């Protein structure tokens, strides 16, 4: 209709003063109710009202005109049907009661209270409530009367206005609803999500034709529109049955014009590279249908659990088919592959995507609260099978983050992990219903034909394959052949195999990532060599590089590579080397020294790995315990530069075995660790073997610390050993030469033994006179 409903109501103003009462209601809603609703309710009401005005035809004569009561009821329903979304109201005492009510009871109660305040007849509120809830209530009275005193307004056929209101609201739900404000949707089962305000709806109420044009940007939008067409078509059929032939309505059909260009300019930062596909080409297998199923579940539940076998293509599905489509809905899309610190890794991804560095200093929940003020957030959390091996406190942090996300209306979670270990890692997400599980399955031959063309597919088309297997079959090769060809161009095959042995662990069900420093620890190779091999492996899509928390990491691109790499490269040779770390770890935990067998194993691999400070301390302590020569390992510790933990060696200061004490102190003298000074001074008081005492004095003296040398003299004075004190002074003199003057002067000031004083004076006379 060309006229506005309000203007038509004004023209029909009678004794009931319905137009004035509507104006009072409109003002009350806009000034008191709507500001207390977080959603853009004003815009929602205006869109719905304009759509209803467009769908109602102009009357040809008075018999097709709407009565004042009908217009009033329809307008009031438009303004009041979402009033229950109000956060609070003016009733101080009853606010908590009101907010605790469910949606239907709150709506009915609130509408009656508003009507009472504005002197709207109770009979009118009954009509409004019935129209507001007509999508839930199966049957409402056909005819109504709005009465006030002796005046009344008639509503001839409530069903007509029910269908007008519900059909127009469905169009608003489908084409004008923002994902941030789904509470305003009347129909949300299923939850169909499209970009708001993108549809062009033309209504010819004279010819009875509705034209809907929509240009889809993603395959999922096309999928949603197919469902929307059915949904809207069913509602339109009901609409026609109930309105045609009344009030001039004669609707015939809906004409759909759906176009689409699915080209997506891939954001390389947002969609990382995944083997075996080239970054510029993207994966050859189109998995839009699977992505649509995932998104359906996501929007129905608010979350989705993606499971599947290892190397089945879960990560590729998420990054290449899910992420690009979600980015058309909201910019707040964050993909995170879990490794060891989930919440820190998620926050790091947010910092990179948003470009806001200060988020690094804020806790993850505060960061999310800030993001939610900007729009809906999507968190894609991949590789959840690694949660099984994470520290309990890290899992607890993630659980708190997930609980927060579940409490927010505008946060959507996509959780992905291995099917085989699902019930182990699912415990972290126990509040998420398993009804939201969506399984990614192997690809059938039809996918290969779509990707390569029927003339290029030569294998058994009745089989199912993983994506990487299809790639190898199409190239008429095997992983073994690829690896053999790769090794032909390698200069040092042992170094190459040594590096890959770090990445390949056939006993683990998960992949691990390593920094260049980690690889150096496990191979003892120079950094330049490591980076050269890693870059070669990156070129061949065997290893991928990622950056997280300010560090650069490397990992295999797929677990599918583990077994071929192990077999072709003969990595069983390095199994013993991997045992070395476990051996050292166990002995360190138990605080015991290594036995001969363990030490022999470590000896065989010492030149192909670097030991930590603690490991080297344990090794050297064990060598002393077994009365072996520590020189090779000591020299290695100096070359590697990681230090030596002297605590295991210091234990031998209290040994009854003189030879072990002697060897321990000799090693400590060579180590020159400042942490050993006090323990050695303490031992000096108790040591009875002159040779060992002499070693202790020399060891501390070699540290070159003036306070330490004075402490030696004081200790020797306490135990009353004049000869050692004289030898100590001679040693200090030989050590420092002309630079010893001040030390000798300081010792002389407190010295009472005349023999010592004479010795100091003799040495002072040998020194050149200072100018």
Position 465 in a domain:
no
pLDDT in tens, 9-33: 999 888 889 999 999 999 999 999 9
237 pLDDT exceeds 60? yes
| Residue 180 and residue 315 in one domain | no
Q: Can you tell me the mean pLDDT for 290-310?
A: 94
Of 393, 425, 441, which closes a domain? 441
328 pLDDT exceeds 80? yes
Place of tokens 């540290």: 703
pLDDT of residue 731: 79
pLDDT of residue 216: 93
Q: Using 50, 70 and 90 to split pLDDT, how confident is the model at 279? A: very low
Residue-range definition of the domain harbouring residue 178: 5-257
| Residue 563 and residue 598 in one domain | no
| Residue 654 and residue 702 in one domain | yes
Position 518 in a domain:
yes
Phi/psi region, residue 737 (left: phi>0; alpha: psi -120 to 50; beta: rest), is left
CATH number at residue 709: 1.25.40
pLDDT in tens, 537-553: 998 888 999 999 889 99
Q: Can you tell me the mean pLDDT for 185-196?
A: 89
639 pLDDT exceeds 80? yes
pLDDT of residue 275: 40
Q: How far apart are CA 626 and CA 592, in angstroms?
A: 13
pLDDT of residue 491: 85
| Residue 394 and residue 521 in one domain | no
Between 209 and 651, residue with greater pLDDT: 209
Q: How far apart are CA 132 and CA 112, in angstroms?
A: 13
Lowest mean pLDDT among 171-185, 217-231, 391-405, 556-570: 556-570
Position 757 in a domain:
no
Report the share of the chain in percent with pLDDT over 90: 58
pLDDT of residue 291: 93
| Residue 522 and residue 633 in one domain | no
Q: Using 50, 70 and 90 to split pLDDT, how confident is the model at 91? A: low
CATH number at residue 308: 3.40.50.300
Lowest mean pLDDT among 209-218, 690-699, 737-746: 690-699
Number of domains forming the structure of the chain: 4
pLDDT of residue 457: 47
Phi/psi region, residue 570 (left: phi>0; alpha: psi -120 to 50; beta: rest), is left
pLDDT of residue 725: 79
Q: How far apart are CA 241 and CA 251, in angstroms?
A: 9
Q: Using 50, 70 and 90 to split pLDDT, how confident is the model at 655? A: confident
| Residue 23 and residue 144 in one domain | yes
Position 90 in a domain:
yes
Q: Using 50, 70 and 90 to split pLDDT, how confident is the model at 709? A: confident
Sign, CA torsion 66/72/73/77: positive
pLDDT in tens, 150-187: 889 999 889 999 999 999 999 999 999 999 999 899 99
Position 498 in a domain:
yes
Q: What is the DSSP letter of 548?
A: E
| Residue 137 and residue 218 in one domain | yes
pLDDT in tens, 581-619: 999 999 999 999 999 999 999 999 999 999 999 999 999
Between 339 and 360, residue with greater pLDDT: 339
Sign, CA torsion 731/733/737/741: positive
Q: Can you tell me the mean pLDDT for 385-396?
A: 94
CA distances from 97 to 84, 125, 241, 641 (A): 13, 21, 41, 70
pLDDT of residue 132: 93
Position 279 in a domain:
no
pLDDT of residue 479: 73
- If DSSP codes are grouped into helix, strand and coil, which group holds residue 154? strand
pLDDT of residue 90: 67
Q: Using 50, 70 and 90 to split pLDDT, how confident is the model at 455? A: low
Q: What are phi and psi of 739, to 5 degrees?
A: -85, 10
270 pLDDT exceeds 60? no
- If DSSP codes are grouped into helix, strand and coil, which group holds residue 703? coil
CATH number at residue 524: 1.10.10.10
pLDDT of residue 438: 94
274 pLDDT exceeds 70? no
pLDDT of residue 316: 87
pLDDT of residue 109: 85
| Residue 504 and residue 641 in one domain | no
Helices (H), 524-612: 527-539, 562-568, 575-590, 596-605
Q: Can you tell me the mean pLDDT for 194-211?
A: 95
Report the share of the chain in percent with pLDDT over 70: 91
Position 576 in a domain:
no
pLDDT of residue 525: 95
Q: How far apart are CA 76 and CA 224, in angstroms?
A: 32
Position 580 in a domain:
no
pLDDT of residue 268: 40
Report field, pTM of the whole predicted structure over 0.75: yes
281 pLDDT exceeds 50? no
Q: Using 50, 70 and 90 to split pLDDT, how confident is the model at 284? A: low
Nearest alpha carbon to residue 322 among 304, 347, 344:
304
Q: How far apart are CA 319 and CA 570, in angstroms?
A: 34
Q: Determine contact, residues 146/127, Cβ cutoff 8 Å.
A: yes
138 pLDDT exceeds 60? yes
| Residue 319 and residue 222 in one domain | no
pLDDT of residue 667: 87
pLDDT of residue 461: 53
659 pLDDT exceeds 50? yes
| Residue 338 and residue 305 in one domain | yes
- If DSSP codes are grouped into helix, strand and coil, which group holds residue 553? strand
Q: How far apart are CA 294 and CA 332, in angstroms?
A: 18
CA distances from 627 to 239, 403, 415, 657 (A): 96, 58, 56, 11
| Residue 74 and residue 165 in one domain | yes
- If DSSP codes are grouped into helix, strand and coil, which group holds residue 137? coil
pLDDT of residue 699: 74
460 pLDDT exceeds 80? no
| Residue 221 and residue 141 in one domain | yes
């Amino acid at each position: 209709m060309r006229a506005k409903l309000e203007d038509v109501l004004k023209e029909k103003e009678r004794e009931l003063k319905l137009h004035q009462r509507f104006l009072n209601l409109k003002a009350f809603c806009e000034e008191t109710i709507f500001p207390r609703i977080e959603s853009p309710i004003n815009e929602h009401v205006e869109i719905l009202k304009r759509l209803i005005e467009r769908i109602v035809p102009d009357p040809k004569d008075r018999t097709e005109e709407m009565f004042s009561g009908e217009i009033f009821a329809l307008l009031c329903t438009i303004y009041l049907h979402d009033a229950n979304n109000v956060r609070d109201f003016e009733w101080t005492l009853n606010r908590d009661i009101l907010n605790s009510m469910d949606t239907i009871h709150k709506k009915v109660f609130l509408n009656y209270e508003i009507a009472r305040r504005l002197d709207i007849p109770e009979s009118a509120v009954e009509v409004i409530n019935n129209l507001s809830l007509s999508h839930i209530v199966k049957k409402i009275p056909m005819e109504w009367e709005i009465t006030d005193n002796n005046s009344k307004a008639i509503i001839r056929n409530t069903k007509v206005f029910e269908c007008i209101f519900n059909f127009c609201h469905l169009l608003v739900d489908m084409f004008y609803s923002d994902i941030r404000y789904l509470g305003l949707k009347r129909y949300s089962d299923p939850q169909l999500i499209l970009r708001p305000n993108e549809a062009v709806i033309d209504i010819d109420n004279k010819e009875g034709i509705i034209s809907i044009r929509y240009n889809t940007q993603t395959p999922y939008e096309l999928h949603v529109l197919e469902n929307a067409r059915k949904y809207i078509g069913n509602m339109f059929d009901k609409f026609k049955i109930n309105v045609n032939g009344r009030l001039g309505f004669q609707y015939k059909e809906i004409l759909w014009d759906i176009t689409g260009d699915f080209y997506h300019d891939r954001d390389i930062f947002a969609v990382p590279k995944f083997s075996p596909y080239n970054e510029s080409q993207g994966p050859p297998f189109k998995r839009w249908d699977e992505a649509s199923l995932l998104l359906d579940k996501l929007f129905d539940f608010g979350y989705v659990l993606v499971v599947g076998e290892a190397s089945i293509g879960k990560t590729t599905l998420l990054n290449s088919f899910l992420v690009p489509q979600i980015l058309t809905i909201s910019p707040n899309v964050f993909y995170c592959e879990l490794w060891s610190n989930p919440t820190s890794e998620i926050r790091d991804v947010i910092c990179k995507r948003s470009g806001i560095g200060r988020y690094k200093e804020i806790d993850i929940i505060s960061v999310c609260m800030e993001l939610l003020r900007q729009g809906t957030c999507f968190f894609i959390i991949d590789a959840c099978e690694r949660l099984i091996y994470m520290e309990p406190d890290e899992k607890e942090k993630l659980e708190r983050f997930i609980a927060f996300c579940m409490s927010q209306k505008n946060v959507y979670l996509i959780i992905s992990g291995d099917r085989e270990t699902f019930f182990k890692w699912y415990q972290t997400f126990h509040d998420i219903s398993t009804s939201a599980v969506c399984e990614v399955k192997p690809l059938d031959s039809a996918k290969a034909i779509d990707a390569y063309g029927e003339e290029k597919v030569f294998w058994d088309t009745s089989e199912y394959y993983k994506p990487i297997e299809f790639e190898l079959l199409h190239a008429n090769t095997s992983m073994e052949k690829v690896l053999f060809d790769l090794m032909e161009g390698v200069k040092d095959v042992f170094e190459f195999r040594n590096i890959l042995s770090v990445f390949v662990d056939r006993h683990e069900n998960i992949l691990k990532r390593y920094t260049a420093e980690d690889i150096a620890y496990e191979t003892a190779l120079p950094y330049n060599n490591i980076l050269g091999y890693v870059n070669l492996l990156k070129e061949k899509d065997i290893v991928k590089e990622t950056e997280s928390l300010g560090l650069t990491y490397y990992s295999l691109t797929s677990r599918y590579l583990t077994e071929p790499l192990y077999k072709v490269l003969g990595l069983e040779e390095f199994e013993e080397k991997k045992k070395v770390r476990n051996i050292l770890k166990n002995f360190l935990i138990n605080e015991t020294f290594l036995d001969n067998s363990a030490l022999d194993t470590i000896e065989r691999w010492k030149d192909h790995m670097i030991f930590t400070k603690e490991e080297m301390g344990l090794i050297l302590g064990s060598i002393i315990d077994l009365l072996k020569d520590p020189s090779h390992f000591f020299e290695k510790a100096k070359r590697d530069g990681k230090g030596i933990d002297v605590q295991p060696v210091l234990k031998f200061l209290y040994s009854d075995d003189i030879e072990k004490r002697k060897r321990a102190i000799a090693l400590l003298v060579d180590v020159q660790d400042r942490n050993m000074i006090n323990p050695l001074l303490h031992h000096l008081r108790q040591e009875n073997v002159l040779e060992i005492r002499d070693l202790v004095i020399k060891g501390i003296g070699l540290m070159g610390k003036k306070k330490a040398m004075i402490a030696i003299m004081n200790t020797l004075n306490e135990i009353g050993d004049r000869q050692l004190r004289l030898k100590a002074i001679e040693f200090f003199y030989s050590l420092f030469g002309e630079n010893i003057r001040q030390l000798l002067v300081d010792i002389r000031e407190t010295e009472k033994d005349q023999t010592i004083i004479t010795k100091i004076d003799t040495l002072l006379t040998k020194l050149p006179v200072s100018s």
